């Protein structure tokens, strides 16, 4: 008599349900959504195909990989790092623990810069600088959406710059973006000939004391260099605001993402740095003033 146990078979729906429960028991807040993302990644299909094949059997050769993906996510590693990618403004960007995971609210910053840029330079090619580019989401998006704009991406981290360049290549704009390593505006202050029309940045803005209390996925896995904004979270803005007057000329548009409750303070820093025609705020999906835009 053959007593060898046959491998367990699961439908895709059963695999998702078990995976969701496994992640939930591991303390994952978005267990259902993350299990779905992992399953889509494992199968290389879209959501419509997954729903269509919900009752189909998970291929036997995929079971071990499925369990490995769930195990990695259960440790607290963000799902985006597990699968190595995140969507932003309709494009897929490679991500790793060298860079922050792109957030949906940053799409609103890109949208605002594109709209105002078109108003200020209807027939010209503005020079854009993305400070603290990380995975390159802003620089790549602006270059891809406006092929005639001249874009520079900078970051203090060489690993982040390599990721940004990789994403620029992935989306066909690597030849239209210059990559510069350096801290905030320092490389461009030192180069007195550098003229910037649009300065965009999503710098670190978490107060140092708040980092230990962040969600474990952020605290334990996202780079602290891209999170820690100093004692009150405003250090990068103070430094960049103080550096504006030392540039070859003042940008006509400064667009910065800020932390909750920081918009007024950042606006005051900009008012102290220069005279602006207008400073406005853009709210995020939760109604928080998330972006500060200064125009002259």
Segment 267-278, tens digit of pLDDT: 999 999 999 999
Query: Which CATH superfamily does the domain covering 86-295 fall into?
Result: Vaccinia Virus protein VP39 (3.40.50.150)
**Can you tell me whether residue 55 is helix, strand or coil?**
coil
| Whether residue 231 has pLDDT greater than 70 | yes
Question: How confident is the model at residue 1, as a pLDDT?
Answer: 43
Q: Is 237 known to sit in a ligand binding site?
A: no
Residue 136 known to bind ligand:
yes
Nearest to 64 by CA among 22, 15, 135: 15
Angle at 139 between CA 197 and CA 105, to 5 degrees: 100
Q: Retrieve residue 115's tokens.
A: 């709209």
Q: Is the pLDDT of residue 62 over 70?
A: yes
pLDDT at 2 over 70: no
Across all residues in the chain, what is the average pLDDT? 94
Is 132 part of any known ligand binding site? yes
Q: What's the average model confidence in pLDDT over 159-164?
A: 98
Give 73-130 pLDDT, tens digit per residue: 999 999 999 999 999 999 999 999 999 999 999 999 999 999 999 999 998 999 999 9
Any known ligand binding at 208? no
Left, alpha or beta for 89 (phi > 0: left; psi -120 to 50: alpha)? left
Confidence at residue 192, expressed as pLDDT on a 0 to 100 scale: 65
State yes or no: pLDDT of 169 exceeds 80.
Answer: yes
Cβ atoms within 10 A of the Cβ of 261, count?
Answer: 10
**Residue 112, CA atoms < 13 Å, CB-side half-sphere:** 26
Q: Is 202 annotated as a binding residue?
A: yes
In this prediction, residues 252-275 reach a mean pLDDT of 97
Mean pLDDT of 21-41: 96
pLDDT of residue 5: 43
Q: How far is CA 180 from CA 52, 131, 234, in A?
A: 46, 9, 23
The answer to whether residue 193 scores a pLDDT higher than 70 is no
Please check if 204 is assigned to a binding site: yes
Every domain of the chain and the residues it spans: 12-75, 86-295
pTM of the entire structure? Answer: 0.92
């Amino acid at each position: 008599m053959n007593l060898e146990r046959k491998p367990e078979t699961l439908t895709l729906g059963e695999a998702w349900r078990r995976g969701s429960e496994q992640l939930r028991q591991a303390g994952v807040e978005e267990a259902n959504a993350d299990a779905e993302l992992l399953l889509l990644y494992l199968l290389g299909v879209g959501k419509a195909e997954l729903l269509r094949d919900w009752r189909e059997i998970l291929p036997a050769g995929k079971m071990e990989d499925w369990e490995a993906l769930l195990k990695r996510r259960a440790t607290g590693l963000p799902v985006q790092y597990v699968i190595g990618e995140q969507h932003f403004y309709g494009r897929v960007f490679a991500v790793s623990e060298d860079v922050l995971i792109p957030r949906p609210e940053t799409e609103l910053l890109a949208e605002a810069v594109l709209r105002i840029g078109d108003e200020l330079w209807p027939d010209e090619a503005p020079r854009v600088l993305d400070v603290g580019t990380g995975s390159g989401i802003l620089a790549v998006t602006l270059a891809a959406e406006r092929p005639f704009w001249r874009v520079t991406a900078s970051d203090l981290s060489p690993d982040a710059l390599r990721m940004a360049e990789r994403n620029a290549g992935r989306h066909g704009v690597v030849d239209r973006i210059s990559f510069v390593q350096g801290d905030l505006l320092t490389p461009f202050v030192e180069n007195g000939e550098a003229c910037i029309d649009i300065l965009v940045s999503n710098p670190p803005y978490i107060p140092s004391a708040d980092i230990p209390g962040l969600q474990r996925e952020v605290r334990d896995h996202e780079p602290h260099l891209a999170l820690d904004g100093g004692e009150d979270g405003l250090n990068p803005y103070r430094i960049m605001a103080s550096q504006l007057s030392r540039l070859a000329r003042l940008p006509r548009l400064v667009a910065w993402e800020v932390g909750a409750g920081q918009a007024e303070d950042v606006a005051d820093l900009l008012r102290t740095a220069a005279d602006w025609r207008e400073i406005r705020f853009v709210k995020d999906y939760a109604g928080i003033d998330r972006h500060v835009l200064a125009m002259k």
